[in-house]
Amino acid sequence: MAKLVWFRDDLRVLDNPALYAACNNSGESVYAVFLVSGTQWKKHDWADIKIDLIKRRIKRLSEELASLNIQLLVLDAASFEDVPHLLVQVCKELDVSDVYFNSEVGVNEHRRDSLVEDTLRDEEIAARVFENRAIYPPGSILTGKGLPFTVFTPFKKAWLRKFQLEGLECLGRPQPQAVSQPTQEFPQAAWPNSTSDSSHWPVDERSILDKLREFAEKSLHDYGEDRDFPAIDGTSHLSPYLTIGAISARQCISRLLFNAQGDFHALSPGAQTWLSELIWRDFYRHLMVAYPKLSMHYNFKEGLASLEWNDDENMFEAWKNGQTGYPLVDAGMRQLNSTGWMHNRVRMVVASFLTKHLLIDWRKGEQYFMRKLIDGDFAANNGGWQWAASTGADAVPYFRIFNPHLQAKRFDPDGSYIRRWIPELSDEEVKLATSGKTPQFNNPSYPAPIVDHAQAREKALKFFKRDD
């Protein structure tokens, strides 16, 4: 008999609970499978560049598994409905007795996995499921009343208490397995066509770990300050790898502790800030599991369901294309459209602008981000958008409305970021754009502001207050 490891959003060999368990004291052949689900990915608005990153990572993962004598099969399962019977077919061909996989966030994924477990059970094949949705399992960090936290700060405090009491386990590399070959050739998957190129992002294990190490050694000390300045390379750039599971948050935290010689209290302020960002990811994943409605695009704050969002498609197109007349907003959208990535501070600014200045439904922005971002993580993206729109758990108060001009002055003071992404602006115009005041351009190549900031702010206050 053999074992089968089903890879999903955990595309790594290190710290992979399902893979580690399958290989531990096995003595049996171990196979692996990854299912290309192009139809389902499209329904979930996955960006082409994210799919390209996964495709490239799968090739490397196959090589890394081969060094452990594990063959990775890459097969077609266009939609989630195709998965159960395809896995059964693979199990029968390879004489598999146990299927190992790590849990995922999301209602559709939960339903798929439940159906897989039922189908495998009917065939007398065991499903071995391991927790991988967060650093600490959803439901393991609760209030004193046994309820999920809906405010980040007390969640973080409880998370840190658990961390200091229990620590965390970061699994190593499995031992090489018995050499084995499939009994027949399986047809290779046809990946969705894509014109997006993710080659800027290396996908081999060594390069990803080096990126983590270099960030921890060179940039982490100043992370607390530098992370808000989009022209500075002050962030980790690990989010795409965390999203597809090419690296785990546990590995990131283990590196923080390694640099602090294992002493949690010796973490630098920058390391503590980055740890807080990783805990935010856990917070949103815990919420997604505790409140399944979030997977179906409902407001967390149900009382805001009656908000009548603006459906002006011209404004939405201007926002998408970086043509709003607000330089920092436009620079961010152009960076997104060009690279598939956007600096986090600017993500907050453009999201606030869409929902507070233009009063356009956050769900349209959420979907557009997912269709463009190489690091489009559903839980984090949903949480971030609902935070900006003041509809989510522990969201920014509705009356906090970013002024894009002041944000540019504070976080792009010399205009380097704006200048890079809006080359049609002259140096003098860039200075005006970062002055903190509404710039008056006379530039036929750059649009006038599509809304007035002061008027938009007053309109937003009235819009949200009636449903507060």
Report pLDDT digits (tens) over 353-389: 999 999 999 999 999 999 999 999 999 999 999 999 9
Please tell me the pTM assigned to this model. 0.95
* 277 in active site: yes
* 280 in active site: yes
Q: What number of other Cβ atoms are within 10 A of residue 66's Cβ?
A: 12
For tokens 């936290």, name the residue. Answer: 149
Q: Closest Cα to residue 339, out of 237, 229, 197, 242?
A: 197
Residue of 41, 280, 319, 341 marked catalytic:
280
Q: CB of 158 within 8 A of CB of 141?
A: yes
For 134, the enclosing helix (H) or strand (E) is none
Q: Where are the beta strands (DSSP E) in 327-461?
A: none
**At residue 468, does pLDDT exceed 60?**
no
Residue of 362, 366, 403, 429 marked catalytic:
362
* 344 in active site: yes
> Between 269-290 and 249-259, two packed helices, what is the crossing angle to 10 degrees?
160
Instruction: Please give the Cα distance from 213 to 255 (Å, whole number).
Output: 7
pLDDT digits (tens, 9 = 90+) for 324-346: 999 999 999 999 999 999 999 99
Residue of 274, 385, 387, 421 marked catalytic:
385
* 362 in active site: yes
* 381 in active site: no
pLDDT digits (tens, 9 = 90+) for 234-252: 999 999 999 999 999 999 9
Reduce the DSSP state of residue 125 to 3 states and report it: coil
Instruction: Please give the Cα distance from 439 to 35 (Å, whole number).
Output: 51
Residue of 28, 93, 131, 277 marked catalytic:
277
Dihedral of the CA atoms 147, 151, 154, 159 (nearest 10)? Answer: 70
Per the prediction, the chain carries an average pLDDT of 95
Q: CB of 185 within 8 A of CB of 90?
A: no
User: What is the reported pLDDT for 184?
Assistant: 63
Instruction: Please give the Cα distance from 287 to 393 (Å, whole number).
Output: 8
User: What is the reported pLDDT for 195?
Assistant: 85
**Count of H-run helices and E-run strands, the chain:** 20, 5
**At residue 395, does pLDDT exceed 90?**
no
Residue of 93, 309, 310, 337 marked catalytic:
309
For 34, the enclosing helix (H) or strand (E) is strand 29-36
Residue of 69, 108, 337, 344 marked catalytic:
344
pLDDT digits (tens, 9 = 90+) for 3-50: 999 999 999 999 999 999 999 976 789 999 999 999 999 999 999 999
Structure tokens at 371: 């269709």
The band of 183, judged by pLDDT with boundaries at 50, 70 and 90, is: low
